[in-house]
A and B are shown apart, each in its own frame.
Chain A
Amino acid sequence: KAGVTQTPRYLIKTRGQQVTLSCSPISGHRSVSWYQQTPGQGLQFLFEYFSETQRNKGNFPGRFSGRQFSNSRSEMNVSTLELGDSALYLCASSLEGATDTQYFGPGTRLTVL
């Protein structure tokens, strides 16, 4: 089975711009979660989508949004980028939810200049 794929792997943007990151889960997985990893904060939960619906949301501002398509692929959007948004964004998929094993993608490294 193919693993979780994330595109692009690296991205450089400037402050004020917006960005869209993509995640393709493992085939058959219906839950997709997004995390932000920074050196100071570790992995922080952004949101989880299940069957095209946002099921859980972390403590991030409304500039961070996401969606899930009928094929379970998910996108994450960050608008009005700030320098502090520079991070590794990880996507994880699982069959049903958090207590199932989550399989992570390699991440998208976003740098905001």
Chain B
Amino acid sequence: DQQVKQNSPSLSVQEGRISILNCDYTNSMFDYFLWYKKYPAEGPTFLISISSIKDKNEDGRFTVFLNKSAKHLSLHIVPSQPGDSAVYFCAASTQGGSEKLVFGKGTKLTVNP
């Protein structure tokens, strides 16, 4: 049973445009969400997170939106740059500091110059 789903395995956008990566979850107990970026031959690196008490969190070019009623979150990258080309993982957990992260399968983003 996949609790965190990233239904698009890949996404291709032009440099300067917006990239929107989507993530759906099924477990209503999740209340903390994160996005990680992974380059080949490297471990994932933390990008941005959001708690369920918020519906939006911004950090520079990256914004995460959370729609709790739809159990959906999205990562917006504006403007997209070729260096953003990577695999993006959505992850979720429950609060408390001791619960495991559940990851989606990832979306490969390609930003074309």
Contact = CB atoms under 8 A, between A and B. Distances in A.
A32 interface: no
Interface of A: 4, 33, 35, 40-45, 48, 50, 55-56, 58, 90, 92, 96-107
Interface residues of B, number: 24
Contacts of A50: 98
Contact of A104 (B45, B93, B105): B45
A33 B99 CA distance: 11
Which secondary structure dominates where chain B touches chain A? loop
Contact of A98 (B36, B43, B45, B97): B97
B32 interface: yes
A33 B101 contact: yes
Given A41-B105, A42-B104, A43-B89, A56 B44 contact: no
A96 B97 contact: yes
Contacts of B106: 42-43
A96 B96 CA distance: 10
Given A41-B105, A42-B89, A42-B106, A101 B46 contact: yes
